[in-house]
Amino acid sequence: MSMTLHVDIVSAEASLYSGVAEYVIAPAEMGEVGIYPRHTQMLTRLKPGSVRIKRPDVAEEELIYVSGGMLEVQPHVITILSDTAIRGHDLDEQKAIEARRRAEEAVKNRSSEMDYAKAQAELAEAIAQLAAINRLRGKH
């Protein structure tokens, strides 16, 4: 049996994943990180994107979209805390396309810096959700 680590992904609403994995790939703030068993300890912020989990004895990676959050790595345990986390197969493409359209419109028609920053954040989330949907479909 290969070496594994324990992974917990928790959102504000629920625990989305709790189980073993051979590795995890996460969208860290400074770039994508791959984490294998016995990885050095680490604490970093996440940006909106896809967390990919390779479970033992399952060919395909499991995909979970996170809106950002925190990633903590211990030698055999990974914990991801995110305000919003959605299983890949639960992502709604039409909803994400509409959210991107609204955010792009808000960026163009900003009335203040605060509105602009919020619109940019919403746009980044919508784009990350669409990228997760494409990755799930194998369109990378």
Q: Do domains 5-88 and 92-136 have the same CATH topology?
A: no
Give pLDDT, residue 112. Answer: 57
Domain boundaries 92-136, corresponding CATH code: 1.20.5
* Cα three-residue angle 35-8-130, rounded to 5 degrees: 75
Give pLDDT, residue 2. Answer: 66
Q: Domain map of the chain by residue range?
A: 5-88, 92-136
- Residue 133 is inside which H or E element, if any? helix 113-136
Higher-confidence position of 15 and 135: 15
* pTM summary value: 0.70
Least confident of 2-6, 20-24, 69-73: 2-6
Give pLDDT, residue 42. Answer: 95
Among residues 85, 90, 69, 92, the alpha carbon closest in space to that of 15 is found at: 85
Residue 3 main-chain phi, psi, to 5 deg: -70, 145
Q: Which CATH architecture has domain 5-88?
A: Sandwich (2.60)
Q: What does the pLDDT look like over 66-121, one tens digit per residue? A: 988 999 999 899 999 998 888 866 666 777 777 777 777 777 776 655 566 777 67
Among residues 75, 78, 76, the alpha carbon closest in space to that of 64 is found at: 78
